[in-house]
Amino acid sequence: MTRAISLHHVSKSYTRGVRVVDRLSLDIAPGELLVLLGPSGCGKSTVLRMIAGLEEITDGELLLDGEYANDLPPSDREMAMVFQNFALYPNMTSRGNIGFPLRIERPGEDPAPRVDATARMLGIEALLDRYPRQLSGGERQRVAMGRAIVRKPTAFLMDEPLSNLDAKLRNHLRAEISTLTRKLGVTTVYVTHDQAEAMSLGDRVAVLRGGVLQQVGTPRSVYALPRNVFVAAFIGTPRINLLRGLVRAPLDGAMSISLGRQYLRLPEPLSLDHQMLRVQQGREVIVGLRSEAIRIAGPAAARPGEVPIGGLVEHVEYQGHEVLVHFSTGSQPAVVPDLEAPTPVRTLRHRREGTVLNRIRERAGALRGGPTVVLDRPHDVEPDRPAPAAQESRLPGDLVVRTTPDIELRHGMRVPLLVDLGHLFVFDQHGERVSPLPARQPDLGD
């Protein structure tokens, strides 16, 4: 048996009224594997604990199979949780750890048959008589998963179960978890800050930031159409190129986006998405380009929808099957200062401008979890907050391009590049995607 889980405008507040989860609404279908993704401290583990009944819900409703469950004790929710730190009893063997929930729930029943069946499923029969101190990290996590599986729960809740393991073992257990949850058909909520895990595991991915749900969708849709600049930057390896641009739309000339020393000329006839960029005329925007949207080739090799720019090689990362090349194009990167932090950065300008329009923008920003990008000067940042570090100090160049290892490049080379405008993202000054057009216009009353 599996179950549907629904969260309706759920919030969680601690002392001083600070909300760590803010009006979260999410429907999880029976048998679905949903991944909660976000930086450390964004509230994703709190959401998991509220579903499990380990945290009280401050506002909103939790529904299990359509029934109100806010006050239902954890023991009656029939869920099993897998923790980050394994949480095994050191004085019990693996057999004792796996069978412990059965001995508590069914005191008169022999747990051995179900323990043995679970161990066979996980391939840990040889570990049943060992103590946790005699097991490796991967073996301990398998035992912890066995303890959850043996109960035959209606839902699995996994709180970063692989974060304490090395990379190779993480990849192996990730595949095992995916296969196992689909075989069992049990609703699974999986928490992680690792976007590679989220993209490879989830039927859907829900991205959180500052306790606010940013976007939910299939891994493909979240990657291909990020709702805002935070989602675009958080998902994808290498990180998406984010450049500051200026829309130029003269009535008697071609429309373009200036990137400082160079520009992207939009091909005519303009697509509907590019036509709508006229609204941004003269405004600063954020241009997003995935590394695969740019290729190394001269203007003569341009395909329909590709436009030429040039770049100076700053750094070459050889990855074996591919090469990541860092170019300097004379562009200025857009900074997302809170990308790895739970709390959004607020600026003085956002606080002191008191027009009606800015109050509406402020409210819209609050619903998104705060402004997702900073296009202000460092002196606009609040005095008690450090100025956001410039992206140039972290990475060489301003544009990363993925290419094949047969192309030989060296530092200082000038290289022609072609940008595929069919894969161009444009975000406004508040970090919301304006091109391609959003499927649904934001409703400030939501």
Q: Give bridge partners of residue 246 from the DSSP assignment.
A: 258, 284
Final residue of a structural domain among 172, 199, 228: 228
- What pLDDT does 106 receive? 84
One domain for residues 183 and 254: no
One domain for residues 171 and 278: no
Instruction: State how far the alpha carbon of 281 is from the alpha carbons of 51, 87, 272, 318, 434, in Å.
Output: 46, 57, 15, 40, 13
- Mind listing the pLDDT tens digit for each residue in 332-366? 998 876 665 545 544 333 333 445 555 454 444 44
In the numeric block, the tokens 């091909």 are attached to 267
CA quadruple 110, 114, 117, 121: dihedral sign: negative
Summarize the confidence of residues 224-247 as an average pLDDT.
Answer: 93
One domain for residues 181 and 282: no
One domain for residues 349 and 245: yes
Task: Report percent pLDDT > 70 for the chain.
Answer: 85
Question: Worst-scoring range by mean pLDDT, 25-29, 79-83, 153-157, 340-344?
Answer: 340-344
Asked if 95 and 102 count as a contact pair (C-beta separation under 8 A), the reply is: no
Q: Give bridge partners of residue 159 from the DSSP assignment.
A: 191
One domain for residues 184 and 293: no
Helix axes 167-184 and 112-122, enclosed angle (nearest 10)? 120
One domain for residues 214 and 341: no
Distance, CA of 312 to CA of 40 (rounded, Å): 35
Asked whether the predicted pLDDT for residue 102 surpasses 80, the reply is yes
Asked whether residue 441 is assigned to any structural domain, the reply reads no
Asked whether the predicted pLDDT for residue 445 surpasses 70, the reply is no
Final residue of a structural domain among 228, 245, 269: 228
Distance, CA of 357 to CA of 379 (rounded, Å): 23
Asked whether residue 444 is assigned to any structural domain, the reply reads no
One domain for residues 207 and 319: no
Summarize the confidence of residues 271-284 as an average pLDDT.
Answer: 88
- Mind listing the pLDDT tens digit for each residue in 172-208? 888 888 888 888 899 999 999 999 899 999 999 999 9
Q: Is the pTM of this model over 0.95?
A: no
One domain for residues 334 and 355: yes
Asked whether residue 440 is assigned to any structural domain, the reply reads no
Q: Where are the alpha helices (DSSP H) in 209-339?
A: 219-224, 229-234, 272-275
Kindly report the average pLDDT of the chain as a whole number. 85
Tell me how far apart the terminal alpha carbons of the chain are, to the nearest angstrom: 34
One domain for residues 209 and 243: no
Decide the pairing of beta strands 284-289 and 424-427.
antiparallel
In the numeric block, the tokens 């304490």 are attached to 164
- What is the domain range of residue 140? 5-228
Q: What six digits make up the tokens of 77?
A: 């929710």
Asked whether residue 252 is assigned to any structural domain, the reply reads yes
Highest mean pLDDT of the ranges 106-115, 124-133, 369-378? 124-133
- Mind listing the pLDDT tens digit for each residue in 42-53? 999 999 999 999
pLDDT category at 389 given cuts 50, 70, 90 is: very low
One domain for residues 416 and 355: yes
- 17's CB contacts (< 8 A; 6+ apart) are none
Q: What is the CATH number of the domain that holds 33?
A: 3.40.50.300
Final residue of a structural domain among 171, 199, 228: 228
One domain for residues 211 and 273: no
| C-beta neighbour count of 364 within 10 angstroms | 16
Q: Give, as one character, the DSSP assignment of residue 335.
A: B
Distance, CA of 236 to CA of 324 (rounded, Å): 14
Domain count, the chain: 2
